Amino acid sequence: MQIVVAPDSFKECLSSAQVAAAIAEGIGRVYPEANTISIPIADGGEGTVAALVAATGGKIVPTPSVDALYRPIQSFYGILGDRKTAVIEMAAASGIELISPEERNPLIASTFGTGLLMKAVLDAGFTRIIVGIGGSATNDGGSGMAQALGFKLQDKNGNPIELGGGSLENLCVIDDSGVHPQLSKAEITVACDVRNPLLGPSGATMVYGPQKGATAEMIGKLEENMSHFCRKLQEKFGINISEVPGAGAAGGLGAGMLAFCNAKITSGFETVSKLTNLEKHISGATLVFTAEGKIDAQTANGKTISGVAQLARKYDLPVIALAGVVAGSMKALYSQGVTAIFSIAQTPVSIEESKARAAELLADKAEQLMLMVKKAKLY
């Protein structure tokens, strides 16, 4: 029996590799003889660098940066096995997991640290770059990233605007005379797990602002500021990115990558699954496990579980999906190829306890399900 375990991470809890290891442990308790293949997956958020580096035989390069509140941190980027491609995850610098809940404030949070990672990659001579843009703490449209790369974002008096989404209303001039000389030579692919536009009810601010600490009052201001920012980008670069799918990802970093870096937005899952040869492994499998921290209505819109299920459906394989939290209708996921969805909690538990015991609960749930498979003599 060949079982493929291809999960995403559990945010603020376990990496995708740790999730895969826990599920594999549970399978091994019942079927120690099974050929269990663990393929940690990411869709552009945290874990993207680790997944791609591990899959391609690359390496991780430590590098200094700053978090979303401009505090110095030790971060990293990856070099893929071809030694020609660098990979960055914005969550490693501007990510929400690096900011405590009481500190989260999208008015001042910035993508400057992500820009520093990009600068480090460009300084190292890489011109083929993958940037994963999930898991952000920011809502600045990528303005901080642009500033780190040498763009001068100035107010009406010619002074630099402050970092963060709360200052975008002051943007008057975009000066690109001091931009990093390698940026124009770079081929940048943005790995993104959502299709949200920049503005409007399904845009960056309205949908994701609250989870980043935005109050109702903040959301109104941030949306106005982002609309102003969008107009300034159109004036400078001649493109209207307000409704481009994915432009609203990571607090509008998708839009900033399009405008400032001439980047191409692609599915994060497709980018990672291709480089990890996921479909090849699934094609020879008997059963597929996948997982992520929360399964809800957004999961069917290009996230890891959705992508894994659609690959497995091509080979008529059963797919078991596990999650810490399951909420809302699962009909879309079932139609995409998921066979069954399970919460890992055996009894009602708090979010805090679920996170603390996530590895244990994953292993126990996988064991329970495989015992059922064995008793039913399905394989």
Sheet (strand 319-326) strand order: 35-38, 2-5, 287-295, 319-326, 340-343
Banded model confidence at residue 34, pLDDT cuts 50, 70, 90: very high
Q: Is residue 41 within 8 Å of 268, Cβ to Cβ? A: no
Does residue 46 surpass a pLDDT of 90?
no
Any residues with CB less than 8 A from the CB of 361 and at least 6 apart, and which?
324, 344, 345, 346, 354
Residue 195: per-residue pLDDT: 86
Each residue of 162-216: pLDDT tens digit?
999 999 999 999 999 999 999 999 999 999 888 899 999 999 999 999 999 999 9
Banded model confidence at residue 143, pLDDT cuts 50, 70, 90: very high
CA separation for the pair 182, 158 (Å, rounded): 25
| 162 residue type, one letter | E
DSSP 159: P
CA separation for the pair 251, 6 (Å, rounded): 27
Residue 297: per-residue pLDDT: 81
What proportion of the chain, given as a percentage, has pLDDT over 70?
A: 100
Closest CA to 212 of 141, 143, 137: 137
Average pLDDT of the chain?
94
Closest CA to 256 of 281, 290, 233: 233
CA separation for the pair 177, 204 (Å, rounded): 29
CA separation for the pair 263, 45 (Å, rounded): 17
Residue 313: per-residue pLDDT: 97
CA separation for the pair 6, 337 (Å, rounded): 15
Does residue 351 surpass a pLDDT of 80?
no
Residue 372: per-residue pLDDT: 93
Banded model confidence at residue 354, pLDDT cuts 50, 70, 90: confident
Each residue of 232-262: pLDDT tens digit?
999 999 999 988 999 999 999 999 999 999 9
| 115 residue type, one letter | G
Residue 61: per-residue pLDDT: 98
Alpha-carbon separation of residue 158 from 110, 122, 175, 350, 351 (angstroms):
20, 27, 10, 51, 48
Q: Enter the tokens of residue 269.
A: 């899952």
Kindly list the structural domains of the chain, giving each domain's residue range(s) and its CATH number in brackets, ordered by start. Answer: 2-41+276-375 (3.40.50.10350), 48-269 (3.90.1510.10)
Closest CA to 270 of 340, 173, 193, 342: 193
Beta strands in the chain (DSSP E): 2-5, 35-38, 59-66, 72-79, 85-89, 128-132, 152-154, 173-175, 187-192, 264-267, 287-295, 319-326, 340-343
Does residue 287 surpass a pLDDT of 80?
yes
Each residue of 292-346: pLDDT tens digit?
999 988 788 778 999 999 999 999 999 999 999 899 899 999 999 999 999 998 7
* 252-284 burial code (b ≥16 CB/10 A, e <16): bbbbbbbbbbebebbbbbebbbebbebeebbee
**Mean pLDDT in residue range 273-282:** 93
